Every structure is written in structure tokens, then in C-alpha cells.
Structure 1
Amino acid sequence: MQIKKRHLSLSMITLGALAAAGVPSLAAEAATKPSNLPVEGRAGGFSGATTWLNSAPLTPQQLRGKVVLVDFWTYSCINCIRTVPYIRAWAAKYRERGLVVVGVHTPEFKFEEDLVNINAAVGRFQIDYPIAVDSAQQIWQAWGNRYWPALYLVDANGKIRHHQFGEGGYDKMERAIQSLLAEASPGPVDNTLVNPRSNDEQMAPDLANLGSDEAYLGYQKASNLRLTPRLREDRPQVYSAGQLSLNQLGLNGRWIVGAESAVADEPGAGVACQFSARDLHLVMGPGTAGGKVRIKVMLDGKAPGADHGADIDAGGMGVVDATRLYQLVRQSGQVRQRRFDIQFLDQGAKAFAFTFG
């Protein structure tokens, strides 16, 4: 049976989370008695990793006696990206107290299997804890996981005691970490909470004004593509986007729409999107390793000005030089529905998916 895989936002999180009323007492109680976190199952281990980054391979036997936080992520997932500062902060704060953080990088797109791309993302996000590269999705299967990001907290005996699906819930997870560290070994545990600094793309989403959801350009997962004429799979076709309704996507110029992505088949080809959110991101790449593609972004037919994202300037100009998530819009004032257009000034760019925040 095929496993359904989904990115989760803050509004879809925390199955089996601790009751809010009980959370503040966890760290204090754990110093003198066992944690009250329930046993949820046994950890699946890391057999099947294609390679490891930042560490030699880790086995359940090596980790026995340690509290282990396992993070299933993939590097172009915006929900994963926004979670990284907290995971990195927990790894640093509690490393000497006995916490081991293990990232499991399980790809969604084919390009996320490329070790060069993964290494670049690990460096870009300044991740120094061990990463199990799960390009064959064997670890994902062994844990029965379904989501990005998914965090599993494992006690010193190898049992899952807490989990978190999606971003958010950081205070509950850190209290759970403190609880299991105190249970695993005697001695005080710092019961403060981290407050990591986040860069532009890692800022928490504006859920109160979020009216758009993830949207794919490849035909395998596309649901809101409005194409004139009709889609021709895997073959060149000149399209016209025209007027779009909220959350519809369109293409302008000659494109080759494949299963995972749409490829700009001529200079000047464009993608349009009608959206409602503070932030707009697009997962895209230059099409060839080491290549560069110039882009021009417009909002409602004009340069974005103060509403430009971190990866373009106020005039809407930018360069795609790696296959990753690019932040193209951050509305600086009142969030409202906008028309987004991106033009690829050079041929060959691949566009995969829009995400919002």
C-alpha cells in the first residue's frame, strides 16, 4: 500500500500532545520522579540509511541510555525549514545532558535524493547534528511515518514517548525533552525554553491571514492548474494563463509539464498564481547543475517593492542557482489577495511547487 505523504502546517499538528494544563509541571516533576509521558511504541531504528552526515552510522544499541529526538524532514519543505532553528537549539542546549538529535532526510522530490543538494542544505541551515540520509525511504517505512516534519522523542530504553507532526508545539516538545532527560539520569535539567533566532524563510507563518495552501506544478500532484490549451504531459506546449481565481495557477509561454515539475522551454516563459498569504515561496531550480537562471517577479503587474521576498530585490529581480525553496514575496503591510507572476529570463528552469506562510 502506498504511503500518503504530506507537509503539515501549524494548524494540523500534535497528535497525542501533552494536555496544556499539565505541561508547565513536567520539568519540575521529572527531577524527582519518572516522567508521566506514555509509551507510544518502540523506535524503528535507522537501518536502510544510504549514508550519514555529521556522524558515523548510529544504531539503537549505541543510543541505549540516551534520549533521542528523531526529525523526519526534507530540505525544500517550508514546514521543515521553519522547524530547524528549534531542533538545532535543542541539540546544542541538551547535548551534554544526554540528548541525541538525529535528522532523517527523506526526499519528496527526486532532486532531494542528490547528496550534493542535501549537503548544501545542511550547510545552509547550519545543521551540525547527525543526519541519516533516507533516499530509499526505508527508515520512513520502518517508522510508519507519513508526514514532514515529524518529530519522535525516544527514551533511554528505546521507546517512543512523545511525537509531534508539523511545525509548532515547540514548548510541549521541549518540556517533554526535559522530562525524559531527568528520567534517564539524575541531576538538574535546565527548565527554561529556547528562543532561537530565525532568518526570513524560517519565520513562523501568519496563520490568521493564510488563505492559500501548497500547490504543485507537476501533473502527478497538480490540482489547481488552469491551462489554455489543455495540458500535454511531457511534451512542449505554448500556454496562456489568463485571468485566475484564488489559488489557481497558470503558465505563460512554452513549457514541458512533467510528473514532478514544469520546465521552462524558452526564455521568457512564466508562471502565474493568484494567492492570499503573507509569504509566497516557490521550489525551483536552474535545470542543470551549476547553472543560473535569471528571474523577474511582479505583484499585480508591478515590481514588488517593499513586498519582495528574501531571494529577490525590490525590483523583482533574482537568480536561481540551486534547486531549493525560494522566498519571493513577503507582504509588508496588510495581507491581501494578490496576483503573482514570475518570468524566467533564461531557458531550462524547473518549477516544482508553491508554498505559503
Structure 2
Amino acid sequence: MIKTRSLGFITAAILAAGATTAICFGDALGLVAAHSAPLAAGTVAALGASTRPLDAIQHARPWLTAVPGGPQSLRGKVVLVNFWTYSCINSLRALPYLRAWQARYRDQGLVVLGVHAPEFGFEHDPANVRRAAAALGVRYPNLQDNDFAVWRDFANQGWPGFYFIDAKGRVRGYRIGEGDYAESEQLIRKLLAEAGHDPSGVAVTPIAGTGIEAAADWNDLGSPEAYLGYAKAADFRSPGGIRKGASAAYSAAPSLPLNGWDLRGAWTVGREFAALDQPAGALRFRFHARDAHLVLGGAPDGLPVRYRVTIDGAAPGADHGTDIDADGWGEVKEDRLYQLVRQTGAIRDRTITVEFTRPGVRAYVFTFG
């Protein structure tokens, strides 16, 4: 098990350096259990951020879900800006809190505003984002930031990013990553009180995600994100290594170490994803976590692709995720994150195998929780 370490000093160093590389902070810089950077409170903003953040929002386009009254109506409101992308498990696990805060404090003057900044190519498509947002219950205003213009104006550094803006338009707190939700809610209440509202009558009750949105088991998480495109791939174990950008026949490794993976069958490994070229292909990953997810894209013909998951060579049974049944069967119908495993017993090193029945499927990244 990897020891938990604070990301505060790492985040500060990144901000100070003015880095622009987007990372999913559930596994920032490969530190599996260090799942968040501390909330910075007071009259603060990330280094390099605009001092007038609402101006960046006012001129941004397109709005997937509009702000009632238009972006200009945000002035004088307390605004929580959340940078997210719909295939990122860290973004998904933050949604129960964002939905609850919008419902609790909307009448007190809070506006939760999503800025969808895509990680993968399919997330640039507004139709995909609208479909995902509807399925996830994201009903608050949501902006599509395909060129990362708003991201850069806020000097954001990863998903999920949270920026707390007071009624005078100043960033009063920010954090990158999951966690510290109680502290975040107290800051929201403070900013609302400063704006002349009285949130004292709003009960602060526990918020908990279910299904794919449930909080990770951070204490027993020993596997990082594992990208399957060659641009970020690591620990690939099929004999001969990755053949970049060309169809090639791969075979399974004799054995897999923890966090190692391989392919079987004919695949083309591109920068972002590995695409199956012929029927009966498979991929494996050796992991240590309660949950295992895989971001998958559908076949070009638009028809579902059946797949089967096994854990250590057996059907998952009670350990199946929300997107497969107890026998391990599921279907890729749209481009998104699929939950394959949620273990119910003791966590130990396991090998997940995903076998696909026909070609065309794209596999982007394994994530864990």
C-alpha cells in the first residue's frame, strides 16, 4: 500500500512554475493515496489567475446549460466554479457535493457553475457532454471549454478544480482534487453570510455518493491511473512493447506485476487510446483497489460492443461494478467511463481481464478507487 502524502507542496510548486499540464488529481503525479491539494482560503487566487474571473466566464462560449438571466446575472452572487470532465472518476466523485450545495444554497444566492474542459477527443463533442450531464444529474449551468480558455484564465491545474468567488467577484478560495468538502461548505456559508444572506437555517447534513460516485477507498488504493495510449502509457508488459500508431498482434505477458498491463490480439495503439482491430481481443491489468474503471469508446458503426470481465480468471459475482453483471458481461454503448469492479471483501492484488467480442472499441485509461 502506498503511504498517503500531502500534495500541498507539490501543488504550490506547480502553480509557482506556471505549469499548464492538465492532470486528474485523484492520482496527481502518481501519488495514489494523496488525493487532493488543500483548500486555500482568504482573499486568494491561484498564481497567474485573472483578478476578474467573472469576466472570463461572461465572454466564454458555448453554454451547454445557460445561466438563468445570462452570465451578467452572476455579479453580486456567490459563485462556485467547478472544472470537470465527464470521463474522469475524480470529477464524478465530486458531483454529489456540487448537486447538494446547489440545491441547499440556491435560494441563498449561490450559483454552482460547471466548466467542462475535456481530457479526451470524444469529450469535445457538445452532444456527448450534454448526454453525460443529463445522465449524471448536472442541471446547474455548464460551460464547454474546449480550448481551455477559461481554464487558463483561472490558472487551473487539474480535474476537479474548485474556485469560490464572493459577491464582489473575488476568488476567496480554491482547491484542486477531491476531499475537504466540509471545509468547502463552511466557506460557501461564510461567503453567503458576507453577501447579506443567512444560511444558518440551512441544515448541514452528510453528503454521500452512491454507485460510481461513491468516495474512493483511499486507505487501500495502490494503483494509479493507467493510460493505454502511447503518449502516457507506462508499465506495458506484452512481449515486444508498444508499436506506435500501427496495427500489430500482441500476446499476453507470462506474468503481470502490480500495475502492469498487457494486450492480446490485434490492436492499434494511438496517442490517446488502444483500438481493437479484430474480434476476440483482450486487455489485462494487475491492480490493488476496491474499484476498477475503464474509459471506453464505442465502435465506428455505432452498434454496441459486448465485453466480458473476469477477475483472476473467474466471473466477478458480487464484486461486479455498475456496468457489468455478476457473470461479467457488459456493453459499450457510448463513450464514457465504465465501472467494472467494486469489491465487497478484503482488498488484495487482483488481475482484471476485459475481453471484447468484436473490433472497433477504444480503450483509453484504467482508473481506480
TM-score if structure 1 supplies the norm length? 0.90
Contact 2:64 2:126 in 1 (8 A): no
Matched, 1:247 2:264: no
Change in CA separation of 1:335 and 1:193 when aligned onto 2, cut-off 3 Å: same
Distance 2:326 2:70 in 1: 49
SS class of match (2:252): coil
Unaligned runs of 5+ in 2: 1-17, 27-32
1:127: Cα distance to partner? Answer: 1.1
Residue 241 (structure 1) shift: 2.2
SS at 1:352's partner residue? strand
User: For residue 264 of structure 1, what is the aligned residue in structure 2?
Assistant: 276
1:169-208 to 2 correspondences below 5 Å: 169-190=180-201, 192-208=203-219
Q: Secondary structure at the match of 2:299?
A: coil
Q: What is the aligned partner in structure 1 of residue 334 from structure 2?
A: 322
Instruction: Give the letter for the 2:76 counterpart.
Output: G
Are the aligned partners of 2:22 and 2:158 in contact in 1 as well (CA < 8 Å)? yes
CA contact (8 A) 1:253 1:266 kept: yes
1:153-187 Cα distance to aligned partner (Å, 9 max, x none): 00011101011211111100000000000000144
Task: Tell me how far 1:313 sits from its aligned partner.
Answer: 0.7
Q: Percentage identity across aligned positions? A: 44
Match of 2:364 in 1: 352
8 Å contact 2:236–2:242 — kept in the other structure? Answer: no
> Is structure 2 residue 94 aligned with structure 1 residue 89?
no
Structure 2 residue 34 is matched with structure 1 residue 11: yes
| Structure 1: segments with no counterpart, 5+ residues | 19-36
Over 3 Å counting, the alpha-carbon distance change for 1:11 and 1:192 in structure 2 is farther
Deviation track 1:22-75 (CA, whole Å, cap 9, x = no partner) reads xxxxxxxxxxxxxxx334373432256331122159877432210000000000
Secondary structure of the equivalent of 1:95? Answer: helix
The equivalent of 1:209 in structure 2 is: 220
Asked if 1 retains the 8 angstrom alpha-carbon contact of 2:293 and 2:341, the reply is: yes
Question: CA–CA distance in 2 between the matches of 1:277 and 1:64?
Answer: 44
- The aligned runs of 1:1-357 (5 Å cut-off) are 3-9=20-26, 11-17=34-40, 37-40=42-45, 42-44=51-53, 45-46=56-57, 49-56=60-67, 61-190=72-201, 192-242=203-253, 243-288=255-300, 290-357=302-369
How far did 1:206 drift? 0.6
CA contact (8 A) 1:286 1:349 kept: yes
Q: 1:351 to 1:339 in 2, by over 3 A?
A: same
* Cα 1:171–1:282 shift into 2, 3 Å: same
Q: TM-score with structure 2 length normalisation? A: 0.87
Distance 2:237 2:332 in 1: 25
Q: Which runs of 4+ in 1 moved over 6 A?
A: 57-60
Number of residue equivalences: 339
Per the alignment, do residues 160 and 292 of structure 1 end up closer, same or farther by CA in structure 2, a change over 3 Å counting?
same
Q: Which amino acid aligns with 1:7?
A: C
Cα contact 1:311–1:318 (8 A) shared by 2: yes
**TM superposition shift of 1:191:** 5.3
Q: How many angstroms apart in 1 are the aligned matches of 2:273 and 2:198?
A: 52
Give how far 1:288 is off: 2.4
Pair 278,43 (structure 1): closer, same or farther in 2 beyond 3 Å:
farther
RMSD: 1.9
Moved more, 226-235 or 141-150: 226-235
CA distance in 2, matches of 1:69, 1:56: 13
Secondary structure, aligned partner of 1:94: helix
